[in-house]
Amino acid sequence: MLKAPGCLLFSAALLSSALIHAALPLASAGQPVAEIICPADAGPVLAYAAKELQEHIAMISGATLPILPAPGPAAGRIILAVQPVGFAADREQIGDSDGFAVRQQGATVTVLGNQPKGVLTGVYKLLFRNSDIIWARPNTEFGTIFTPNADLTLTDTDFIDVPATILRGWQMIGPGLESDVWQYRQGSNWSSRTMRDDPETSHFGCVREFGGGHNLTGLYIRGDKYFADHPEFFPFFKGARQDPRQIRMRTQLCFTNADMTRAFISELDQLVAASPDYSTYRIMIEDVWQCCECPECSKPITLPDGTSVAPADEDFRSTQFFLWLNQIARHFQAHYPGKRLLTFGYFFTETPPRITVEPNISISFCPINKNSKRAIDDPDNDVYYRRFLSWMKNTTELTWREYFGLCGPFPRPMDAIAIADWRLVNSYGVRRTYSEMYSDAVGPRMDGVASWNVNAPYFWVMANANWNPKVDVKALRDEFFRRVYGPAAADVKAFYAMIEKAFLAAPGNSRWNDRAVGNWRLAVVEPGIVEPCREALTRAAQHPLHPNSRKMLDALQHTFAEQIAIADNVPNLRVGRCATEQDLSLDFSTPAWQAAPAYTNFIELNKSKPVPHPTTVRFLYDDVYLHIALQCNYPDPTQMAYERNLHGINQFPAGEGAEFFLTSGKESPAYYQFVVDPAGNRFSSDETAPWQARTAVTANGWNALISVPWSTLGHDPATTDRIRGTVVRLSKEPNDRRRYYPLFNSAGHSVASFCPMHLEK
């Protein structure tokens, strides 16, 4: 008896809720029965939100709802509003973020936010939660999938969503506005496209940061303006001041030059005056390691507390840079309070300086060399995790800047890693994050279409999760597969699950520039799961599918078949057995060398062009050494670009040369890198590792023989059947930059792409 009133009250509450939030029809038999209300003075972002809502409702239902500045005669309406009265609790919860709320009162649904961008995102979420639409990929032909519904009705109209991040987005690498529109529909509020004044992007409502990427000598102290009269502004190395116009990736600056600093501040002031509406101005080191070696830049740094930072210290260059940038930041704070500077924690500034950075400097932290198979706090990434923690002791202004979307045409499950990293750094107070991602187009660096063919699930999950990383990866993946593949979801999921398991178990790290062919070989071909993967996709194709879902599946199957064919064509390099202490002359005419297979297929990195001059490599081994013989033709050897003098230091050579990569049998490092040029100048990734190199310039080019002790590599040839490695020819043509030509489809620094090398017994 005592339970009855409770049940009655519960039933009454449900009835009351149903009356307040009754379903709101938008269309009936393909005709509009509601209207969209957008104020006449709404501005470009809100007007765009209204247009997007109108077009998507029409796309799904066939009904074009009118957009009106005030309520009209329709039975129901959707109001788009920025900071409307009557929603105080929602507005307080949203705060200064680009969050949103959706509320229904009778026949009126209001999509509100404190920023126009919040309303735009709220429109997309309203559509997503009230239909089966998914913007699965940017492809304008088949990337958006939904079931037509001539009687489209809103039923989920009472929710609020406040992001954990105040800046989130993707730096799309490649052409096409469509890829940026796609990410905005997932909730991004930043893109590299919005870092400049452009009418094409003004209606997206994104966070705007001035200055682009690497820009010290590309934007501020440019060579065309300053080098002729002030070469001292630019770095000194190789015996001269370097003109950034003559260096492929430009140069840094001479950070100890006071006149340069004054000129830099003047340039910054002019840029702020010309573009005053940005809240953030970027001062970003160039994409090179080389720093100035003038006497002033090379001497120890004495800090205000009397301690000294030696040139050999890991944080020397970072400390030098931030001593310089702090001067600019103090000027910036005095003249532009409330605005901030953004700079990279990258290359030599990835290590925090031994000084405190000014509070108006934000750090864009880029752990470019981390193992992307593991989260940042995994022991594999200890060095980068410690650097992050050190930075968090120095500043509260840090942007987590990554490379999660730079995946070739291999399904790399970066979503789970990205979400784990975002969750961790967010717990330390990091509220800004962006990453590079290939656009869904064929670009100069990558066939982004092929990448999207296989990575769309992971890209979609990441683009939705950076709003708030406290999400369930599995649930988000399931949502993607269900909406995209419907009855075929289980089979497509099985395909991805098999590859993910094998990829994470495969040897070697994964980095931002992984070669897809190597991952296919290591994670699919060698574990023997090609046929199970193929069968899963074949089963999926047997289901009745939405036309666009069918095209998504066709694209997946096509790239899978294409990449497996390429992976199958990567040969197993044969390493011949030879007698210890035999004649290893540089003409490679001995019977052992002549019997060794010759490999000549050197292809330009990320291109399909073969090396312009014939190049041949052979491999031999004995009980003590692994020997690699390289013959590099060149039409006129006197015209080859390389350092003629033998300098005797561990320095990566310029011009002509060759790189040799060999996997290690030790726990660390994963591989060794050895580099030589025609003069015999050498570089090794481990300066203490013993190895030998001999070179000779010939009438036809140049030859090199490197011999690496098995003890260096950590392998025992008596018990080892296979290692992995590759060779990269570095070729420099007149009036052209140096180009990289790896053997077959491999790549330096990418263990997954290294060729299998079988030791013949």
DSSP codes joined into one string, 690-758: --EEEEEEETTEEEEEEEEEHHHHT--TTT--EEEEEEEEEEE-TTS-EEEEEBTT--TT-GGGSEEEE
What contacts 24+ positions apart, CB below 8 Å, involve 641-646?
Answer: 641/732, 641/734, 642/677, 642/678, 642/679, 642/681, 642/732, 643/677, 643/679, 643/681, 644/679, 645/679, 646/679, 646/680, 646/681
Quick: pLDDT tens for 519-540.
Answer: 999 999 999 999 999 999 999 9
pLDDT for residue 10? 29
pLDDT tops 60 at residue 710:
yes
Cα 264 from Cα 217, distance rounded (Å): 10
pLDDT band at 391 (very low <50, low <70, confident <90, very high): very high
Task: Name the residue among 276, 280, 288, 272 with its Cα closest to residue 216.
Answer: 288
705, 673 Cβ separation under 8 angstroms: no
Residue recorded with tokens 């307040």: 20
**N- to C-terminal Cα separation, the chain:** 88
pLDDT for residue 693? 96
pLDDT band at 356 (very low <50, low <70, confident <90, very high): very high
Pairing of strands 671-676, 236-237: unpaired
pLDDT for residue 752? 83
Task: Name the residue among 599, 587, 739, 586 with its Cα closest to residue 656.
Answer: 739
Judged by average pLDDT, the poorest of 336-345, 522-531, 727-736 is: 727-736
pLDDT band at 458 (very low <50, low <70, confident <90, very high): very high
Average pLDDT value for residue range 324-338: 99
pLDDT for residue 19? 42
Pairing of strands 100-105, 159-161: antiparallel
Q: Is 688 helix (H, G, I), strand (E, B) or coil?
A: coil
pLDDT band at 6 (very low <50, low <70, confident <90, very high): very low
What letters, b where the CB count within 10 A reaches 16 and e where it falls short, cover 32-48? bbbbbbbbeebeebbbb
CATH number attached to the domain at 16-162: 3.30.379.10
3-state helix, strand, coil split of the chain in percent (to 5) is 35, 20, 40
pLDDT band at 9 (very low <50, low <70, confident <90, very high): very low
pLDDT tops 50 at residue 7:
no
pLDDT tops 50 at residue 5:
no
Which residues contact residue 182 at a Cβ distance below 8 angstroms, ignoring those fewer than 6 apart?
135, 137, 138, 143, 440, 463
CATH number attached to the domain at 168-467: 3.20.20
pLDDT for residue 20? 52
Instruction: Record the tokens describing residue 704, joined without a space.
Output: 């090199």
pLDDT tops 80 at residue 15:
no
Q: Which of 338-352, 656-670, 727-741 has the highest mean pLDDT?
A: 338-352
Q: Domain-by-domain residue ranges, the chain?
A: 16-162, 168-467, 496-568, 573-759
Task: Name the residue among 520, 543, 515, 549 with its Cα closest to residue 533.
Answer: 520
pLDDT for residue 462? 99
Residue recorded with tokens 């690497």: 214
φ, ψ of residue 194 to 5 degrees: the values are: -95, 15
Asked whether the CA dihedral 477, 479, 480, 481 is positive or negative, the reply is: positive
Quick: pLDDT tens for 556-611.
Answer: 999 999 999 999 888 889 999 998 776 777 999 999 999 999 999 999 987 889 99
Instruction: Record the tokens describing residue 664, joined without a space.
Output: 């290690």
Percent of the residues in the chain that have a pLDDT greater than 90, as a whole number: 87
pLDDT for residue 282? 98
Q: Is 209 helix (H, G, I), strand (E, B) or coil?
A: strand
pLDDT for residue 670? 86
Could you say which architecture CATH assigns to the domain 573-759?
Answer: Sandwich (2.60)
pLDDT for residue 606? 77
Cα 276 from Cα 71, distance rounded (Å): 38
pLDDT band at 337 (very low <50, low <70, confident <90, very high): very high
Average pLDDT value for residue range 427-436: 98
Judged by average pLDDT, the poorest of 86-95, 118-127, 194-203 is: 194-203
pLDDT tops 50 at residue 703:
yes
Percent of the residues in the chain that have a pLDDT greater than 70, as a whole number: 97
Identity of the residue numbered 252:
Q
pLDDT for residue 14? 32
| Residue count (the chain) | 761
pLDDT tops 80 at residue 413:
yes
pLDDT for residue 18? 40
pLDDT tops 90 at residue 741:
yes
Average pLDDT value for residue range 644-656: 90
pLDDT tops 60 at residue 1:
no
Average pLDDT value for residue range 287-294: 96
- 684, containing H or E segment: strand 682-684
Name residue 74's beta-bridge partners.
none
